[in-house]
Chains A and B, each alone.
Chain A
Amino acid sequence: MDRNAILNELKKVLTPYTENKELLNGITEETDLIKDLKINSANLVDIIIDAESAYNIEIDFDSAEKMYLVGNCIDVILDKMNQSA
């Protein structure tokens, strides 16, 4: 799976936690989940849990801390997918 495919999948994971759905149309790897998408910081945990089941991976505490930009999320997801492959 390439980065673009993951970005598109990630959009679906982010949708329920993004109040203004239109913001999702313009997301790039530089999009900040809290600052740009205005996601409630407590919901980052739910996003991580949803991403785990979407990609069948396990995300540890240290990796979770890095997941604040869309690009970082893709890095962590790719890294974990390669580990479990």
Chain B
Amino acid sequence: MSAIQSPTERIWWKQPLDRVEGTWIVIAFVWCLVMFFMMPYWHIYGKQNLSNEAYRSTPEAFLAKAQAMVDKYTVRTVTEQNIPVVHPVPGSDVYLVARLWQFWPVLELEEGQTYRLHIMSTDWLHGFSLQPENINIQIHPGYEHVVTLTPTREGTYSLICNEYCGINHHTMASKLYVVKPKKG
């Protein structure tokens, strides 16, 4: 009878469908298909897709690569801790280390240029949250994630950690500068 009792009829499977249910199922299913195909569609025609490129790595190997980039491209330092600001060549491989509780180094990128950004943690899980763009990526220790990105507007952006990483989690923040390309 009601939903808390067994169905009265033995063969409930053959009850004809009410029109309201049938119509809704068709409409809802079509909408489900639209939502499903939006994802592959965006991979082909959209511009914002998270890269599948990732490698297994170690903190030592990753730090060595980041250090080599810092040695080559540092333009100045910021804060009392003298965190290097690097201005790498457009199109190059850029390394960003996330660790307790900082991002290292600070990046200065050129507007409209494309970079291969490698991100990895050397200790716990961290989050890459670029504000105010609001692009958010998980950072793992031991997995080097390569994201190809193109800053579109010049300005000073913030990077904040949005994966809980202990007591000073709220101090893990950094900057990302986007400047106009140098002429000539």
The answer to whether A and B assemble together is: no
List residues of chain B with CB under 8 Å of any chain A CB.
none
**Chain A interface residues (CB < 8 Å from chain B):** none
